[in-house]
Structure 1
Amino acid sequence: MRMHLMVVVSVFWLPLGLTEPSLPSGSKAGIHCVPRKTVPFQSENGHLFYEEGVWNYSTMLLREDLGLMVLGARENIYALDINNISNKISSVSWKVTPKQKVDCTNKGKDPIQCQNYIVILHTMKDGRMYVCGTNAFQPGCDYMSYTGGQLKLENKLEDGKGKCPFDPFQRYSSIMIDDELYSATSINFLGSEPAVTRTSSSSSIRTDFKSSWLNEPTFVSMAQIPESKSSLVGDDDKVYLFFSETALEFDSYSKMQVSRVARVCKGDLGGQRTLQKKWTSFLKARVDCPVPGSQLPYIIQDTYRWCEGEDWSTCVFYAVFTPQVDGWDMSAVCAYSVLDIGKVFSEGKYKTPVSVETSFVKWVMFTGDVPSPRPGACIDNKARGQSINRSLDLPDQTLQFIKDRPLMDQAILPIGKGPLLTHRGAAFTRIIVHRTQDLDGRKHHVMFIGTENGSVLKAINYDKEMFIIEEVQLFKSSQPIKVLHFSDTMGHLYAGSEYGAVQMPFSSCGRSVSCEDCVLSRDPFCAWDKTKAQCIAVFTAKANSDLIQSLRAGNFSLCPATEPLKLVNHTVWLGDNLKLQCVPTSNLAETRWHHDAQPVYPSPRRQILRDGLHIVSASASDAGHYRCVSLEHSFTGAYTTTVAEHRLSVGLGKEGRKTDVQTEGSSLAVLQASVACLAIVLAVLLGWNLYKGHLPLPGTCERAKQRAGRGENRGDEEVSSQPGTVKNTLLVSGETNCTSNNNTCSRAVEFTGIKDGETEAEASMLFIDELEN
């Protein structure tokens, strides 16, 4: 009966050293590393290149001899200025024909896939470039030259089958060696026939179509190791291939992915009868990157080969791994020595398939006799001593053995038996490694790691302590980094994604604004210039510059004293909320607050945030002096610096202001009511006096004066020449006279005249009666 996947893991995985590993002796850990600084997207982070309507900038070729960065995208190839890739020098378009696109869509493929994705760019010996594209699922290759500042395709179209993938979204890998193309890709339309091939002008050679050779692989990378140089045994150069595939050696209901490294010999010509035009040197082994806490093997995503000069024995493969289980957000970096890999292939045991009663095949360690020459070995002096000078001379016994048993029993473990670095967050996608030198002449390997969200991590190993200097967001949108390259002479990194390509310097030292920050960044590219009071790039410093750098210890005490911070004043109303800003110096620093020299502890009213102190419903007790201190540890101690100082005053709060407003409103209402009452009383008094005649009507005094001036007395009358319009004015005297001081009369009534039907005597009598009343 077949076992469940987890049982298989328990039985097969754990005995192979994949329990929690012990880190290298004295390791200060790269476990769960956090970048010291996180740099958000800014246009200043680097030079960006993209063209509207063009996507998938995933193939790069640096031509430092031409001063170019050649960039392959969907249906376009660009020649960009290596100093500033925003400057396009030339471009060439390679589009599919309408008929090719129709044929592709008629076969059930998406129109987006039915275009020409440039996937291969390599330099040939004569300086031309070899370029291949998916070409609407009809892969093709051509030669391209750069003359007179212009890119030009030679239109010598070759069949790209076996050289590049049909499907633009299928992983592949390739390398050009002495004008021979080594490729790892699928060689059919459906993508179901994976193969590792070598194509030259004269012949080609590939892997056998057997699941024991390649079982649903995902190809990652290829690299050459010149092992023939200074070889004491007359060995051949090797080509190493990293990939992942479905494991055959583990029996389970579910498919389990494992990481692999395979190897072929450069001089392999295939067998004479067995394995004709097939690799006779193809061997593969499992690659483990044991991450603490994981129960399933991590899957390899990319590798980078680094060698010390011309000495191939110093070569190390740096590799990034991600989990094969969704929801597990831990990525890892492991490093593998080429000597350790070679030892497994040259001395290790083989696995062999055996049949069991339940009619399925089980892979176990081969314990029988191994034929000579050793299966999978390159032709060396020992083989030549047996008159075997080419793979064509190998005996069928050796060839049949390797045909049936290409898998090694022993897994390849990383240097130190564990990961160099693990990191929670966006999954790792690509890695490159650059070596630089510090002020003391010591050399360091700086890793640049691309992620799934478009950022690049810069990490370094100091005495087995992994340290992430920074994480820089290169693209505005979250786009996976698909390709990474660097130019040592330019000191720049180049990254490509679906959206575009970005060029950034190895380091932007100007981000460190203080000496302590510069030293604690522990960036080998940077140092503090005491004369300029700036964090500068080391390679730009003059010979006599007074520089400070402390990479291993982060000794900030070397820095000169700094000026105190300016105090920031705030006023908050009683009952209001306020946030006092305090940004820590790095992601590794923690902030602490003091209020009038007393520590501030978190409470419902005082919330300590990552970037400040939030005071809720301020009271009088919150007034005073606040100091925010950033604390960051290094090997020389804890670096404490005052990041911000605030003075807080608490004014009259909301409740007091409300009471005042209510009081003022009440007073105003009372005043308005009083004024209204007074106005009514005055109006009544005025009307009463007017009605009783205590006050004259307006204009009466003036007319009385005019009459007095003319000598008119009571009973005088002025008759109009027109009947019915007689107007008599009688002035009643004897009670109060008009005076010049107030121009008023106490009793003045105007006689308006005789109405129709009245005699003059009757009108006069009525007027006298009215006066008396």
Structure 2
Amino acid sequence: AFHPVCAFVEAGQHAEEPVFKLDPRHTEDGKGKSPYDPRHRAASILMGEELYSGVATDLMGRDFTIFRSLGWRPSIRTEQHDSRWLNEPKFVAVFWVPESEDPDDDKIYFFFRETAVERQQGLGKTSFARIGQICRNDMGGQRSLVNKWTTFLKARLVCAVPGPDGADTHFDELRDVFLLQTRDKRNPLVYAIFSTSSSVFQGSAVCVYTMADIRRAFLGPFAHKEGPNYQWVSYQGRVPYPRPGMCPSKTFGTFGSTKDFPDEVIQFARHHPLMYNPVLPHGQRPLFLQTAVPYTFTRIAVDRVTAADGHYDVLFIGTGIGHWCWNSWPHPSLLADVGTVLKVVSVPKESWHHMEPLLLEELQIFQDASPITSLQLSSKRHQLYAGSATALAQLPLHRCSAYGKACAECCLARDPYCAWDGTTCTRYVPNTKR
């Protein structure tokens, strides 16, 4: 307990049976790779031989870092004890997204929520959702930020319902992220689920982000604060070259390594990790939201489906985590955890540029109504795998027969997995005659 250990697992498919085997002979210290306490949130990704982790590296769970370990490159982390870099973060997910055909441009994106440093003093703590970026080929600085990230930047991830007079309703508690791959591997869609942090208004939302909007935020103005009694503003001074956050490139750039960056670039990066402009969702509002329900969204998986009339994104959303019902005062009651899976399809409202959500079904997965803690999707096998703290379930992505035995019922269901074959409502298979 409280002594994390890491080991490699052999996983694959042999001729006789699947292989999933832990090698106990080759273990190593898990510090910087895994949290000491399993209750602490962490996120990591193994890229080649390198492990990128967002984790607390101390026993008390206070020294939070984005850490690179293993591999041939030096171990690198974020600046310690600097709230401008990380401020009590809760890491949610991490993904690799190529920037261009040049592998030197590859970036790792971390998704987390943290206490907002830009919140005005005296107004209490506020949690903001963030997206952070680092370059894979970051080697740290030569004289400053030695063995620290020199390309780390972060921006606020906004998921809000626009309100009158600019009074937006924000969903700031980032819960889960799913990266939906497209034909262009450099431009996947980012699906994220959020909940509110307010005790008065409770709800959950799904927002979608494009890599173009994410990159635009990181190429925008930096957030700047002159001193403790000043407000955060957009930095108006000269930004040094190469621009902080850009990856060094031996092929196209003047600088082959971050160790070659001028001192003014390193110093600027140290003091300006936060971007001024947030990343706004596609359509400027949530794709799907629910309020006044006895649960929050916990996990999301998305499948892009080819239907008879086009391509659709089908969302599978896990729920859980009940909340206090204060309407029963003076004896507030805790609403039970509701471990369900929502199946939602995004359909065109007026055109393919204006989409709206349609809730197809809500499935109770576990008998004990356990919150959904894991959701994995296999498009190849047409199966969804849902996990809780006590059980694992497998369920099909579609139940076309449940939509009735008439053509009208099948079509009105608007489930892109299903189509009428002349006699029954069945799974649609592209390139077959109907």
Q: What band does the TM-score fall into relative to the shorter chain?
A: 0.7 to 0.9
State the secondary structure of the residue aligned to 2:225: strand
Aligned counterpart, 1:655:
none
Letter in 1 for 2:118: E
The 1-side partners of 2:43 and 2:247 are apart by 23
Q: Percent identity?
A: 38
User: Could you say what the CA RMSD is over the residues aligned between the two structures, in angstroms?
Assistant: 2.0
Equivalent residue in structure 2 for 1:530, among 422, 425, 431: 422
Contact 2:305 2:311 in 1 (8 A): yes
What are the residue-to-residue correspondences of 1:120-199 with 2, within 5 Å?
Answer: 136-146=1-11, 149=17, 151-155=20-24, 156-199=26-69
Aligned counterpart, 1:368:
237
The answer to which of 311-320 and 499-508 deviates more is 311-320
1:438 aligns with 2:330: no
Aligned counterpart, 1:325:
198
Equivalent residue in structure 1 for 2:404, among 500, 509, 513: 513
- TM-score, L = length of structure 2: 0.86
**How far is 1:530 from its partner?**
2.5
**Stretches of structure 1 lacking an aligned partner (at least 5 in a row):** 1-135, 546-773
Q: Deviations over 1:692-746 (max 9, x none)?
A: xxxxxxxxxxxxxxxxxxxxxxxxxxxxxxxxxxxxxxxxxxxxxxxxxxxxxxx
**How far is 1:446 from its partner?**
0.9
Aligned counterpart, 2:77:
206
Residues 383/399 of structure 1: CA separation in 2 closer, same or farther (3 Å cut): farther
Aligned counterpart, 1:288:
158
Aligned counterpart, 2:106:
237
Q: Deviations over 1:616-671 (max 9, x none)?
A: xxxxxxxxxxxxxxxxxxxxxxxxxxxxxxxxxxxxxxxxxxxxxxxxxxxxxxxx
Letter in 1 for 2:208: A
Letter in 1 for 2:227: S
Residues 272/226 of structure 1: CA separation in 2 closer, same or farther (3 Å cut): same
Aligned counterpart, 2:379:
488
1:307 aligns with 2:199: no
Equivalent residue in structure 2 for 1:465, among 356, 372, 380: 356
Contact 1:291 1:332 in 2 (8 A): no
Q: What is the number of residues matched between the two proteins?
A: 396
Contact 1:166 1:187 in 2 (8 A): yes
The 1-side partners of 2:161 and 2:34 are apart by 33
Letter in 2 for 1:396: D
What are the residue-to-residue correspondences of 1:19-168 with 2, within 5 Å?
Answer: 136-146=1-11, 149=17, 151-155=20-24, 156-168=26-38
The 1-side partners of 2:421 and 2:188 are apart by 35
**How far is 1:384 from its partner?**
2.5
The 2-side partners of 1:180 and 1:288 are apart by 30
**How far is 1:381 from its partner?**
7.0
**How far is 1:197 from its partner?**
0.7
State the secondary structure of the residue aligned to 1:342: helix
Residues 361/212 of structure 1: CA separation in 2 closer, same or farther (3 Å cut): farther
Contact 1:197 1:205 in 2 (8 A): yes
**How far is 1:228 from its partner?**
3.0
Q: Deviations over 1:83-120 (max 9, x none)?
A: xxxxxxxxxxxxxxxxxxxxxxxxxxxxxxxxxxxxxx
The 2-side partners of 1:523 and 1:184 are apart by 38
The 2-side partners of 1:174 and 1:199 are apart by 11
Equivalent residue in structure 1 for 2:341, among 435, 449, 456: 456
State the secondary structure of the residue aligned to 1:268: coil
What are the residue-to-residue correspondences of 1:410-449 with 2, within 5 Å?
Answer: 410-424=277-291, 425=293, 426-440=295-309, 442-449=310-317
**How far is 1:408 from its partner?**
0.5
**How far is 1:382 from its partner?**
9.4
1:352 aligns with 2:246: no
Letter in 1 for 2:277: Q
Aligned counterpart, 2:352:
none
- TM-score, L = length of structure 1: 0.49
Contact 2:174 2:195 in 1 (8 A): yes
State the secondary structure of the residue aligned to 1:511: helix
**Stretches of structure 2 lacking an aligned partner (at least 5 in a row):** 321-337, 349-354
Contact 2:207 2:288 in 1 (8 A): yes
* Greater gyration radius: 1
Q: Please identify which structure carries the higher helix content.
A: 1
Aligned counterpart, 2:323:
none
**How far is 1:544 from its partner?**
4.6
The 2-side partners of 1:419 and 1:201 are apart by 39
**How far is 1:361 from its partner?**
5.6
**How far is 1:400 from its partner?**
0.7
Q: Deviations over 1:319-353 (max 9, x none)?
A: 1110001253321111111111112212x111122
The 2-side partners of 1:242 and 1:216 are apart by 13
The 2-side partners of 1:199 and 1:191 are apart by 19
Contact 2:249 2:257 in 1 (8 A): no
**How far is 1:236 from its partner?**
0.5
The 2-side partners of 1:377 and 1:530 are apart by 57
Aligned counterpart, 2:258:
391
The 2-side partners of 1:538 and 1:215 are apart by 48
**How far is 1:437 from its partner?**
0.8
Contact 1:227 1:312 in 2 (8 A): no
Q: Deviations over 1:127-163 (max 9, x none)?
A: xxxxxxxxx1101111222577464322111101111
Contact 2:45 2:52 in 1 (8 A): yes
Equivalent residue in structure 1 for 2:88, among 190, 207, 216: 216
The 2-side partners of 1:508 and 1:167 are apart by 40
State the secondary structure of the residue aligned to 1:308: coil
Contact 2:160 2:170 in 1 (8 A): no
Contact 1:228 1:236 in 2 (8 A): yes
State the secondary structure of the residue aligned to 1:183: strand
**How far is 1:355 from its partner?**
2.0
State the secondary structure of the residue aligned to 1:510: helix
State the secondary structure of the residue aligned to 1:174: strand
Aligned counterpart, 1:377:
246
State the secondary structure of the residue aligned to 2:410: helix
The 2-side partners of 1:320 and 1:543 are apart by 36
The 1-side partners of 2:121 and 2:56 are apart by 26
Letter in 2 for 1:266: R
Letter in 1 for 2:316: F
Letter in 1 for 2:365: L
The 2-side partners of 1:371 and 1:281 are apart by 13
Aligned counterpart, 1:275:
145
Aligned counterpart, 1:669:
none
**How far is 1:307 from its partner?**
2.4
Letter in 2 for 1:220: V
Residues 327/502 of structure 1: CA separation in 2 closer, same or farther (3 Å cut): farther
